[in-house]
Copies of this chain bind each other. A is one copy, B any other.
Amino acid sequence: MKIQSYIAGQWTDGQDQGVEVFNAVNGDSVGWVSSSGIDFTQPLAHARSQGGPALRKLSFHDRANRLKALAQHLLAKKEEFYRISSWTGATRIDSWIDIEGGISTLFTYSSLVRRELPNETFLVEGEAERLSAEGSFIGRHILVPKEGVAVHINAFNFPCWGMLEKIAPSLAAGMPVIVKPATVSSYLTEAVVREIIASGLFPEGSIQLISGSVGDLLDHLNEQDVVTFTGSASTGQKLRSHPNIVTHSIPFTMEADSLNCSILGRQVEPGSPEFDLYIKEVAKEMSVKAGQKCTAIRRAIVPNNRIEAVSEALKARLSKMTLGDPAQEGVRMGPLVGRSQMKDVWQTLEQLKGCCELVHGGTTDFSIVGGDREKGAYFPSTLLYCDKPLSTDAPHSIEAFGPVSTLMGYTDTDEAISIAKLGRGSLVGSLVTSDNQEAKQIVLGSAAYHGRLLVLNSDCAKESTGHGSPLPTLVHGGPGRAGGGEELGGIRAIKHYMQRTAIQGHPTTLTAITNEYNPGSRQIKDPVHPFKKHFEDLQIGETLITHRRTVTEADIVNFGCVSGDHFYAHFDELAAKDSLFGKRVAHGYFVISAAAGMFVEPSPGPVLANYGMENLRFVEPVAIGDTIQVRLTCKQKIKKDRRTEEEKPNGVVVWDVEVINQEHTPVAIYNILTLVERREE
């Protein structure tokens, strides 16, 4: 079988036979991988001329809806992916993380985008920046999709998740992708990409696949492209200093394996729930994916007086971790992805054994259940002990990318933090303790060296997603050894594929560009009340100036009665004299309620509900005798998809509201959110 590439709308073989890839369980041939003969300018040109322009025409919500449909499509095909995934040595649980974890990333990004981003092709970020005294010159920030290609170079360990977690934010941003999986497990990625293409959900040119070497692809990238890399630090560093990437300042996001640690708190007693949690978590992180995870726990940092207890408990637990063919009943850990990987891990273990003591495993004296020991890539779970962690470099810098961890002791919390930092930058660290003050000290003390930190205790353990799992809403990546990149983390990840641009000009100009009302922008007057207009008919900048209302002592009294709020600043003349205000003033809630009384049109209309408010500030007090008036301006419109057939087509309208007094001084400023009916689907 040939593992194919998908280039410029065609599935294609390499011109030579290429590299053979094998089933990790029994050494059977899976197929051949080659990209030779491909003209690598072709996928770039195709993405730039077809995929990019087509994606950029879609709005964020359009793209998000397609991501959801894609997730559903892939979910329906999952059993085929599980079947293929087992060839990589993955257990059912390992595959679940890769396949269903990957698909869930698509679902998460789809809903994040629909919830947090506008239904536009570009993004406005932050508030207007006032750049001038009179307000005729302001600034804002927008983000537009980069007009190039995102090249995703992925690691072998998660052929499905590793691709989907990167294409979700890329496609959401409006940027086409070229996926390059690691050769050894590329057959699973290929199978998933076949289904993505078959789904027809994204425009042609949005997704291409290179199975095999990327050849001279990187030589042809330009300043609008982006590269993300997951894999070994050495390869990542080579690619990052690629002359073409440097010359064109091409954003390069790297996520590399790191020597992640897990710390056991000082007060955790053997036999306590937290002690058991620690043992389970370390053993799990050593064995899931046979330890081939960039987030695996490589360093177990425990109080010196717990070394013995932890060591015994881990040995006991690891001994029960049956190794073999994942298809066999009772097998808890599968083989490594291939025999070349297995040889690497043996070699690295030898280096570690030079300065660490072997506590468990680490020899060829192990048994497997099923599978072919000679042809498969089996490696036993292995625990080392380092007795001088502060002065021994190897366990903090040499990584055996398999089920291998090193135990090390500390005397006090500062020392635990120092040892954690010796990893020189990690994707993730964890801490098991029920002492939240200890948690605070360790988290704040070691955060500068970590992309993610988990605090595990018995209160959260049941629902914890664990040390090793990156989550779509949280940043994934870490400083230093971990590559210095950031993936995922909600909307942040989408912005990696976009260009942020500051725009400056008159507020009216910026309103025209951003489709959001900016303070100082021209206001549009219309005899029809804005609450009488359908979503489509409202114009950004459309403004209602209401009648006025004089605030009286009776208003304060009546409002106090109906609300029950008899705060001294409204009702106690003696105390109010000594207050900030110097006299009785109206309730702030009265001011915004009276404002609604002035701007609301009482009879039924397209405004279906007032459902929220943002950024309310009571700027000046309103005294008895003051006369207030309201300006209501249409600030922003967000078209919503109908969730059910019954739901009336609608959208959210954000209104900019300002209540002023008789001196034209603002007394309250805020935004209100209304749901407004659309005339048409």
Chain A residues within CB distance 8 Å of chain B = 122, 126, 129, 131-134, 136-137, 139, 141-142, 144-147, 222-224, 237, 240-241, 243, 246-251, 254, 256, 424-425, 436-437, 439-440, 443-444, 447-457, 459-460, 462-465, 471, 473-476, 479-486, 489-490, 499-506, 508-510, 512-513, 549, 555, 558-559, 561-569, 571-572, 575, 578-581, 587-590, 592-594, 596-598, 600, 602-604, 608-618, 670, 675
Extra pairs beyond A475-B502, A614-B616 (9, CB < 8 Å): A131-B463, A136-B463, A223-B484, A248-B424, A444-B513, A460-B509, A549-B564, A564-B594, A589-B589
- In the complex, 15 of the A-B residue pairs with CB atoms within 8 angstroms, ordered by the A residue number, are A129-B471, A131-B474, A145-B448, A222-B424, A249-B481, A436-B512, A440-B512, A453-B503, A455-B503, A572-B603, A575-B604, A588-B610, A612-B616, A613-B670, A614-B614
The 4 closest A-B pairs by CB, nearest first: A223-B480, A564-B597, A249-B484, A132-B463
Cα A133 to Cα B146 with chains together (Å): 36
Q: How far is the CB of A450 from chain B (nearest CB, A)?
A: 5
A571 x B602 contact (CB < 8 A): yes
A512 x B439 contact (CB < 8 A): yes
Cα A506 to Cα B568 with chains together (Å): 39
- Chain B hits for A449, CB < 8 A: 147, 223-224, 499
- Chain B hits for A588, CB < 8 A: 610-611
Residue of B nearest to A512 (CB): B436
Copies in the complex: 2
- Chain B hits for A133, CB < 8 A: 463
A505 x B460 contact (CB < 8 A): yes
B502 x A452 contact (CB < 8 A): yes
Task: Select one of B224, B593, B604 contacting A579, CB under 8 A.
Answer: B604
- Chain B hits for A609, CB < 8 A: 569, 580-581, 618
Residue of B nearest to A612 (CB): B617
A222, A501, A610 — most chain B CB neighbours (10 Å):
A501
Residue of B nearest to A502 (CB): B474
Cα A611 to Cα B618 with chains together (Å): 5
Task: Select one of B459, B504, B581, B616 contacting A453, CB under 8 A.
Answer: B504
Q: How far is the CB of A547 from chain B (nearest CB, A)?
A: 10
Q: How far is the CB of A107 from chain B (nearest CB, A)?
A: 15
- Chain B hits for A475, CB < 8 A: 141, 500-502
Q: How far is the CB of A133 from chain B (nearest CB, A)?
A: 7
A486 x B500 contact (CB < 8 A): yes
Residue of B nearest to A504 (CB): B454
A131 x B465 contact (CB < 8 A): yes
Task: Select one of B129, B454, B501 contacting A447, CB under 8 A.
Answer: B501
Q: How far is the CB of A166 from chain B (nearest CB, A)?
A: 18
B249 x A425 contact (CB < 8 A): yes
Task: Select one of B137, B248, B439, B580 contacting A608, CB under 8 A.
Answer: B580
Task: Select one of B237, B501, B506 contacting A457, CB under 8 A.
Answer: B506
Q: How far is the CB of A80 from chain B (nearest CB, A)?
A: 29
Q: How far is the CB of A568 from chain B (nearest CB, A)?
A: 5
A602 x B566 contact (CB < 8 A): yes
- Chain B hits for A486, CB < 8 A: 500
A614 x B615 contact (CB < 8 A): yes
Known: A455-B504, A459-B506. A447 touches B223 (CB 8 A): no
